[in-house]
Structure 1
Amino acid sequence: MEKPTYLLFGASPEALGLCHALGISLAGVSDPIFGGRQTRWFDLPAYGNDLDACQKSNASSAVLAIDNSRIREQVYRSLIDAGLDFPPVSGGYLGAEPASGLFLQRLGNVSEGCILSEGVRVNIGGSIMHECVVGRFVTIGPGAVVLGKVTLGDHCYIGANATVLPGLSIGAGALVGAGAVVTKDVPAGTVVKGNPAR
């Protein structure tokens, strides 16, 4: 039997379930919830320190399932430097070229013509439609829909069940609240909510 070579970064049962469904064999999981100690989680070795997890597990690849985009980027950068790679993980429809660290959950969709950057996370039922340009470490919440030809800046967050209308631009670090309907461009670092989003 071949030794597992993947580590899961971000302890969520949904991420674990997707790894199992895709046949990804895991050597362990790393998440700050475990503190500085090693324990077990869903019968896997669990680590509170990312570099410790790498050294003790001898993993060479990782699944990047951390929800917070800033932490996701920190982990990605430190572990790339430590020699791990982040193959894209897709449990949904992927019609675009995948990028390093992509985590596309079940029932997620990334349509044709999209350009993806590293570390993008699309949660369960999230959808990025045709010809969108998606920045680094963007998070699409469960059930959110980003319609065609939208530009999403680095680290922007589209909340659960939000809708972004076609052709708009969501600036870097912007947050679109759950259930919002975005009808105009959102400047960088702005929080918008409601229908229409303000």
Structure 2
Amino acid sequence: MIKFGIATLLSSALLSCVTGSNGPEYRESRVVERIGKAKETPTWAEGTVTMYEDGQDAIFTSIMTMSGDSRPEACLKAADLDSRSMMLRHIKDTLTASGQLNEVSASSDPGYEGLVAFLSQGKITGAKTTERYWEKAEESDTTGTRVLRLRCAVKVAVKKIELQRQMREATDVKSGNAEIRKKLLQAQGDFIESLNPLKKGDSNSENL
């Protein structure tokens, strides 16, 4: 009887392992359609790197997902409209996470307030959309049901020197603590310097 029980437990465990090993394969996303019948997702649209440099430009990738029955153009437009504010929000979060802004305890300093206001308003001069991409993919929802999703991405570029100029002007106020302003400017410069080139890959997308 004990042997039977052990055999039953082993069989159940084996069945569980087989079922578990099949799970990830079932949940894997499968692309069924791409813009311009492209064969691969371009590297910049994969979403693994949010912001990087390309020569003299700072590049930000805005990605949005909608239901599969949505129009690609509507999805791309939504991603484009949201891209500038998302870029500045990303910069704000990165600067804050760096520790330099926390160290100076500058929440009430005019220079800090000016920078935060600039990064929060969602407007940036000189930024332009240079590429667009979309794809439709089958994937599993939380219940395991296969659903169709539309994923789109836009690439926004702004000159690094122009981006730094706008952040500097937002920080450069007449009043306030000079030491705090110095650290704020240093944090901005460090952020620009931290941008790395994106590793080159397939570039199937719509150039603008």
Give the TM-score normalised by the residue count of structure 2. Answer: 0.21
Structure with greater helix percent: 2
Larger radius of gyration between Structure 1 and Structure 2: 2
Higher relative contact order (CA 8 A, sep 6+): 2
Q: Scaled by the length of structure 1, what TM-score is found?
A: 0.22
